[in-house]
Structure 1
């Protein structure tokens, strides 16, 4: 995931630090502490150099990190057309059977870069038409009605639903996570039309479902007149609420006294496509969107620190204070929507924030269907919702709560997937057991059920029903003693091997005393990938085993404590794993999100890597694609044949502008650090979906 614009005056105070706050009060050993006991002190010392070295690294220039380097062969020409020619290394990566493609180099450039022998085509961009009657995109104009019909902003999760057996026609399901106001709109508009901008931003959030088709030359195009094409937005899309929390008094508002229907979905990060081709939209940082005060004072909380202090002191008197404190709601920054729309003000609508933070299920094959928020899957900052059909036919969904020191979850349905009657599966996600993970030193993961009436989940602790457990999932997990993790983001089951991969992106607040064999960084800037193995392929089992696949960072710099297999090249390592995908051959593909600190973390832009998980390829990684300057890499998604990899390039031209040598100044609408993908002086950078294919056809990699 990434964060909304942190510099625009209309967007409030700094937002990213709110994710640094440990809202979890858990006293359980962190995942890193457990791993240290399992792996042993000796293994830790081999990879770490101590607190002083870590402190130096945190402020070190990129050259110290041996990332971009000063070698002219690593630099990219400012002319976008010259990027590919100057950005390719001579060596070709061919370890075992993992992947065979020439690696690209680490670096930062205004254009994207893909491995030689591959084509990376722009499929759809922010503002492009989705519905048949959509108006043309007008750069710099705020128009909420037009945006309702156009492709939304900051595309994140991508899912493909085939419409024919060949997989050459399908529906692309796209999440639109957040907006970056400072590069979307001109300065004057940002300061003079806040309500118009707010409504346009609401329309730019949510999701897009659009039909795409592969032409005879292999290129993909959107089908403009398809009846499947649809926008789902935070501004206007009505959604049903189902499951344990539906109709509960804490879900009721003045606009919805029944507590069963809500307008819109917020901050949709990753997601999932179920075996019966429904589209799961995961609501992540919903707390950014609400304003108001939690106490009886005359001022709003302006910083996360103020909120934390008020919550800790018990000064928060709002009826949902304990709940909102745990989720960081109304921390004082974020979006200004609450100034214009009452439901985003927690003092005017005290319960509205409880109606966000869920997984939304959509039927992409029925454009008239109503999306449903499935509350049985719990309420937290969902990074994704990837699923696998268990050997007994039940559906299992894995989810991470993307905040430092929060938890890893699993949902197992009561019912089984109906393979002959697709419609019978809608409702499957309303009954089942949500569990939270506890990692142990002996290499096991225990799944602890979040069921009302069991253990501490009783009225004595404020849980009067299963609805309360689901509304306050985080607090319930705290009481069960779940293992605090380093920002668990995407969780991807591999249907070929039965193993499950967890991307732990980073944790800038990990303390020196918590250095260990897994998180041997204090702080942990580089992230890691954890591998979980269910016994005999039973994803509903109470206990799994776990191990480490890779630890992010540059292995040539000992202070990083990075862990990649020996065959990984100088360009094969990465930092801050975020989204994951498994291709039809069972290979793992990893995308990264370093945020605005990319210059200190790696010195290189985010991208896509292929990572080996089995045999001689295990732990070997190769770099395949790189985003343009200031962007984040999201949404890797393969067609069923594996001959196309769709990726989502999010917020180009925003992150780390001062560190980008070709710009080295603030980046905004008038003067962005890149104008990718149009490279037109009248057009700002535009988040886009990219379709990557092999020249001449054939499987990717």
Structure 2
């Protein structure tokens, strides 16, 4: 919990940037065979380090066109692309931009009322009571489930990941540099009310315009301040899940730091709890300011999860977020939460069978035998890729299907240098997962998923974030970056030291079955500027200057199985000069590895979502934390944003309003399918 070396860094402009920099320090001690080592063994270390691939490796990554393609500058139009749009020009400024012929309109902004009796947003007089009826902060994952056959009415499900106090509250400033001196219980309650998620009904009119149905009975907020939830699965009721306020270990208030997520085949919404460790506090510190865990029986577990980190002051006012007063509460976060958006009075469920870690996403598919499969990444440097396979099969009865998330097997990935991926079962009693090694039951395996995966020898990855499965047994894994990887830690699946730009791995499961326990893997692209050999980037040669990207984060397929990538460079976008955005990425044929820029964010923002409707005529995008990340790199501004002095006032551009995280609706001008 010693933040001083981070908060005093002059390059860091806000708490969120400091929090991310602090998490650059890995908690995984199991680094003998990282994904970089595996990639190195597969493709050849010397060629990868100098940014070059041999003929056979280039062909395996990009197809035969990589060997005969003309110079990138001469063939940037890629006329045979499956994505039909004129590429947007890269850049970074105060507003958003989209490819010609498309419209991107604001649907929901932080503070917008979502219920019939909600008060209008008053940024100078915020309250928790008002925020509980208004759209939350920092919208991340976006999902949609239709309410009619035409798909013109439906429920939008949106995660709210975290808050940026510096641009959210007037006169407050950076709290991590001030010991949270300005944070009152009232402000913390507003923060808590702004976290979690939102369900709203939306409708499309005859002209194709989407809008909020404000009086809908479906509309509700889900927050760590007030929402009661059920804990189920193997860890439910375990003594390590029991707290002072919940002796059963089966009930918890709320969810937090909800990053990516997913929608199930039966229309429920999966919320992934990611960086939950930062919300837990301790008053017990050693002389260096670090947390003193000597009084805790599960010291190894807390250290492996980075608990406590103390990036929020909630533990000063709520005992459940103070590990000195309630040591087990942190075990009740880091799970996947299922919400039934069609049942506004139902309690969300935390499914412990899916494991406890920093869940970035939880995208679902159905195996060849009808089993539910969920792909999940643990978003931390040197952590792991997971998937879950249900024991039962998906049925037409939606209510019964939720039981599939309680009864199944969780697996962690090992990527071998020969191009094979093995899924290792996290099952108590198998291999090292025994009482002698600290796992007395399946509950222990799941509460300490990271420790169990360490014991199995899973491959440490470069920040595995979102993962998207396709129906043909293929899955794509987003590896955002890892500047902590050393030269002697590179491997076949994580091939670059100081990997500042990330890469994407393609998995093909055996026999095209997502429930398979083995398959093959390859690198789809290694991100960064392909014109700089020292970066080691690999793209299809026809990718333009605007088309290459850095730090892949979220991803989605449209109805035609085409892959779209959203990026998150954080404060380091200055290294590329590009804002974050949405890219169309070819995965097949002669253009495999070819990328085109479709949308870009305003300065300081990260792009989240994306989500296509089934007819491919609407695309939902979430623009998170506009005007915050890396604003010191913005020419003409070059300073940290504050409420009073932000780098942008997007999307309102009202001098009385700070920047507001928002969900956008993208449609083709005049109607039609996107990118056709």
Q: TM-score, normalised by structure 2?
A: 0.92
Cross-structure match for 1:142: 126
Gap change, CA 1:453 and 1:193, over 3 Å in 2: closer
Q: How far 1:498 moved relative to its partner?
A: 2.7
Which residue pairs with 2:324 in the alignment?
347
Measure, in 2, the Cα distance between the counterparts of 1:467 and 1:155.
Answer: 32
Aligned equivalents of 1:317, 1:192: Cα separation in 2: 30
Find out whether 1:414 has 2:387 as its counterpart: no
Structure 1 residues 441 and 339, CA gap change in structure 2 (3 angstroms) = same
Alignment check: 8 A CA contact 1:141 1:185 kept: no
Is 1:109 the equivalent of 2:84?
no
d(CA) in 1 for partners of 2:13, 2:648: 22
Count residues with an aligned counterpart: 643
**Aligned with 1:619: secondary structure?**
coil
| Match in the other structure for 2:473 | 498
Kept in 2, the 8 Å contact 1:510–1:524? The answer is yes
Give the whole-Å Cα distance in 1 for the aligned partners of 2:230 and 2:417.
Answer: 42
CA-CA distance at 1:348 after TM superposition = 0.5
| CA–CA separation in structure 1 for the residues paired with 2:223 and 2:251 | 15
Partner of 1:21: 25
What are the equivalent positions in structure 2 for 1:14-413 lying under 5 Å apart?
14-41=18-45, 43-47=47-51, 93-188=77-172, 192=182, 194-292=184-282, 299=286, 302=289, 306=290, 316-331=294-309, 333-413=310-390
Deviations 1:275-303 (A, max 9, x none): 0011000000000000015xxx655974x
Supply the distance in 1 between the matched residues of 2:608 and 2:45 (Cα, whole angstroms): 35
* Aligned-residue RMSD, C-alpha: 2.2
Moved more, 472-481 or 23-32: 23-32
Number of the residue aligned with 2:453: 477
Provide the residue aligned with 1:514 in structure 2.
489
Query: Once the two structures are superposed, what CA deviation does each residue of 1:620-677 show, in whole Å capped at 9, x if it has no partner?
Result: 0000000000000111000110111111000001011111013112210000000000
Give CA deviations for 1:429-469 in whole Å, capped at 9, x if unaligned. Answer: 00100010001011100000000011111111111110000
Deviation of 1:494 after TM superposition, in Å, equals 1.5
Q: CA deviation at 1:188?
A: 4.9
Deviation at 1:46, TM superposition (A): 4.7
Partner SS state of residue 468, structure 2: strand
Match in the other structure for 2:505: 530
Structure 2 counterparts to residues 675-690 of structure 1, below 5 A: 675-690=649-664
Query: CA separation in 2, counterparts of 1:402 and 1:48?
Result: 28
| 315-324 or 130-139, which deviates more | 315-324
- Corresponding residue number in structure 1 for 2:601: 627
2: CA distance, partners of 1:526 / 1:316: 38
Are the equivalent residues in 1 in contact too, given 2:493–2:505 (CA < 8 A)? no
Alignment of 1:515-664 (within 5 A): 515=490, 519-600=494-575, 602-664=576-638
1:319 shift after superposition: 2.2
In structure 2, the residue corresponding to 1:259 is in which secondary structure? Answer: coil
Query: Following TM superposition, by how much is the alpha carbon of 1:41 offset from its aligned partner in structure 2, in angstroms?
Result: 3.5
Cα distance change of structure 1 residues 188 and 467 upon mapping to structure 2, 3 Å threshold:
closer
Q: C-alpha distance in 2, partners of 1:334/1:188?
A: 16
> 1:699 and 1:456, CA in 2 relative to 1: closer, same or farther beyond 3 A?
same
Residues 28-66 of structure 1, C-alpha deviations (whole Å, 9 max, x = no match): 4111111111112453255179xxxxxxxxxxxxxxxxx
3-state SS of paired residue (1:137): coil
| Contact 1:206-1:234 within 8 A present in 2 as well | yes
Question: How high is the TM-score relative to the length of structure 1?
Answer: 0.89
Moved more, 212-221 or 602-611: 212-221
Give me the whole-angstrom Cα distance separating, in 1, the residues matched to 2:542 and 2:216: 47
SS in 1 for 2:47: helix
Q: 1:59 is matched with which residue?
A: none
Q: Structure 1 unaligned segments of length 5 or more: list them.
A: 50-88
Aligned partner of 2:57 in structure 1 is none
Structure 2 counterpart SS, 1:14? helix
Is the contact made by 2:627 and 2:641 (CA closer than 8 Å) also made in structure 1?
A: yes
Cα shift at 1:92: 8.4
